[in-house]
Structure 1
């Protein structure tokens, strides 16, 4: 895979801590149109830990044999752990690309000069790209945040050009500042300005909640591709909706159906997805990786905590799920909740 433009689908999933694991990827892949290809992330991986981890049983690096175009995201700033991580992920694990995190605003990353801290020093950031490129046999991407009040868009463009010169094969821009985190609106004009000035592909990320947003971002910014995070986790069938609009064939198993569209149809589909996700997580984390039931349960509860806000009465589902102590109890609670019609909202303020 030279870069993301070699793949034919305009939407991809964002790397999200606690969410972008093998179970969620499998759920979303259920809704991929036939013959559609996109790249797939992992959760954020710490380059200091990857060299010593068992990649086949560590929850963050669990993968199915059927998965392709996997692009794990790494967090790091030193050559030795980056080189060891990249070599293991490419030669042993089968990564199709490596994504460098320069957008994480959480304190745990900031105190180690990881994530968005790297955007404070262009030469430092460029060295991280150089380290990664030097030891990789696959393409390198960088995921960034927007500029803040102390910088201008031209400075962002120059910053990213320096990363491209250092070896970045494509970039993803989430145009919220580190200070904003999830608050406020993302500034899509920065994606458009970046696209005008770069020779490598640009992926736009931020405020994608429904299929319509994918096409609007593509039209307004001319981005090569769109990345969606929590809303795609909540609406895995967004892949199907986008594919249907573009004329792709329906996903396998959905040939005689149309993608859900109305609030009630989407509410019912969320319930079916959630039950499948429980099965997928149980199979991956417990049956294959030997994780405890409590760990598996917490992963599903975190998914519900993140996505329930798109359900009209999602707070009730969250309350029921939080009280469950075993997967069997969770399945009963979910089945009971969705035995009554439920509706999904098109949009939320994305602040959960």
Structure 2
């Protein structure tokens, strides 16, 4: 299943939209996810939720991650997605790893790790409703110190999951501390389906080390790509045992930020408030970035962001 998909862009709420997917695919991501999608929201024909499934022109083989806790709703909406997206859909993933309070408080995301029987029922229901592959993404376990991922993975495989993705933190950790890659290897030993490793890949060497230590079939990149789509080309080169591309220059970082803002404008219209967080990530560590952050918080249009980017380039030239 993952023969040609070795380097994946993770589904990230508020991040993995059309613009970001476009930049990451161009940089070398083999597969990209939409933002995670609420099955309940889809069942209400919510336009805001359906908007998350929109694809860029020519975009093909995109994975969709659904979250929810009702097997029948998850199954019906998975079937709707499959019918609506057709050949553009690569596979469907079930979110069992999001630790956000607003998600787990409703029994969704990583809360499913506390109810393995329900999690398995969801996989069986979705698998029975679609013809595309069905995968599950989860964490090391729910409570810190209580690793349940290997057994949980076996249950998901028995329920019909075609592959699993493991993030090396407990749900209670949120994103604190370091991801434990060892659990990815233990899941790899526990199941016969492909395993995707996730957590703390921030350079090409990290992906090589994860693959070597765990035997995972693919790597999934999330926060490491924020403001840094070049990471995918670095990972691809490292996995191919080739020289990694040099880190982007200040000019290249600002140019990418400008392009990102333009892609968002094409999709969202003049008001591109959601570019603020991306702009912060692109300019992190640059000369003048600390002063620019306050201005970014008031940017709403392409012209606003361009002015900040122009000033950052000028400051960079003065420093050089």
Asked if Structure 1 and Structure 2 have the same fold, meaning a TM-score greater than 0.5 normalized by the shorter chain, the answer is yes
Number of corresponding residues: 315
Residue number in structure 2 paired with 1:24: 20
From 335, 339, 343, the counterpart of 2:310:
335
Give, in angstroms, the shift of residue 144 of structure 1. Answer: 0.4
Which SS does the other structure have where 1:200 is aligned?
coil
CA distance in 2: counterparts of 1:248 and 1:221, whole angstroms: 18
Residue number in structure 2 paired with 1:13: 9
Give, in angstroms, the shift of residue 147 of structure 1. Answer: 2.1
Residue number in structure 1 paired with 2:246: 260
Residue number in structure 2 paired with 1:303: 278
List runs of 5+ in structure 2 lacking aligned partners: none
Deviations 1:203-238 (A, max 9, x none): 111111112211111111111111111211321112
Distance 1:128 1:324, change over 3 A: same
Matched, 1:174 2:141: no
Residue number in structure 2 paired with 1:47: 39
Residue number in structure 1 paired with 2:99: 105
CA distance in 2: counterparts of 1:72 and 1:209, whole angstroms: 23
Matched, 1:139 2:133: yes
List runs of 5+ in structure 1 lacking aligned partners: 251-257, 287-292, 343-352
TM-score normalized by the length of structure 1: 0.82
TM-score normalized by the length of structure 2: 0.89
Give, in angstroms, the shift of residue 326 of structure 1. Answer: 2.4
From 173, 176, 180, the counterpart of 1:183:
176
Give, in angstroms, the shift of residue 317 of structure 1. Answer: 3.5
Deviations 1:156-194 (A, max 9, x none): 312210111101111111111111111111111111111
Give, in angstroms, the shift of residue 105 of structure 1. Answer: 1.1
**Residues 1-352 of structure 1 aligned to structure 2 (within 5 Å):** 3=1, 5-7=2-4, 9-32=5-28, 38-53=30-45, 58-94=50-86, 95-147=89-141, 152-153=146-147, 155-246=148-239, 259-261=245-247, 265-286=248-269, 293-294=270-271, 297-305=272-280, 308-309=283-284, 311=286, 314-341=289-316
RCO comparison, higher one (Cα < 8 Å, 6+)? 1
Distance 1:20 1:325, change over 3 A: closer
The runs of 4+ residues in structure 1 deviating greater than 6 Å are 54-57
Which SS does the other structure have where 1:163 is aligned?
helix
Does the CA contact (< 8 Å) of 1:55 and 1:93 recur in 2? Answer: no
Which SS does the other structure have where 2:33 is aligned?
strand
